[in-house]
Amino acid sequence: MFDCCLYFNLNVLTRTINRIWEEAFQRLGLSPSHAYLLRLVLGEPGITQKRVAQALGLAPSTVTRFVDALAAKGLLERGPNAADARESALYPTAAGQALEAELDATGQALFQRMRSTLGAERFDQLVTTLREAQAAVAGQ
């Protein structure tokens, strides 16, 4: 019945992937979304919330909630933004930095697991197709 339904099939895949990612990051006490935001800040200390929202495709209000949650856990903090005093910048704390290797290892393990499960070529094609489709749909 739903063989040709993009909405249904994409949501089924999304729920399955979410379960796998949630289990993987649960041991670090983070949701996948929080983990990816923290990885972004670790990779670019001083990044603005606006840039985080753009990079992760999230609404600014969602990023604010995620930043608040990570700050409450002591993993990142807001600080001055040298480029624009109207907007704060995000920096990892020492506790956040201490998670960097585990976050990277978890991300790499998930990448390898999915690439192995789907096959390297199929995995690479799927990721490319999803990125292209997102860009096309967003550009409508």
- Residue 24: inside a domain, yes or no? yes
The string of pLDDT tens digits covering residues 53-95 is 999 999 999 999 999 999 999 999 999 888 877 888 999 999 9
Provide the pLDDT for residue 2.
Answer: 87
Number of domains in the chain: 1
112 to 75, 76, 81, 115, 117: CA distances (angstroms) = 26, 28, 36, 5, 8
Q: Show the domain range for 97.
A: 6-138
- Residue 129, pLDDT above cutoff 90: yes
Instruction: State the pLDDT at residue 92.
Output: 98
Residue 97 identity (one-letter amino acid): Q
Q: Which residues contact 34 (CB under 8 A, 6 or more apart)?
A: 25, 66, 69, 70
pLDDT of residue 5: 95
User: What mean pLDDT comes out for the span 92-100?
Assistant: 98
What's the whole-model pTM score? Answer: 0.89
Asked whether residue 109 is assigned to any structural domain, the reply reads yes
60 inside domain: yes
Residue pLDDT, tens place only, 18-27: 999 999 999 9
With CA atoms as reference, report the closest residue to 46 among 100, 83, 98.
83
The yes-or-no verdict on residue 133 having pLDDT over 80 is yes
**Assigned domain for 88 exists:** yes
In a domain, 1, yes or no: no
Q: What is the CATH number of the domain that holds 87?
A: 1.10.10.10
Q: Which of 130, 116, 114, 46 is nearest to 82 (CA)?
A: 46
Average pLDDT of the chain to the nearest whole number: 95
Answer for the pair 79, 91: CB distance below 8 angstroms, yes or no.
yes
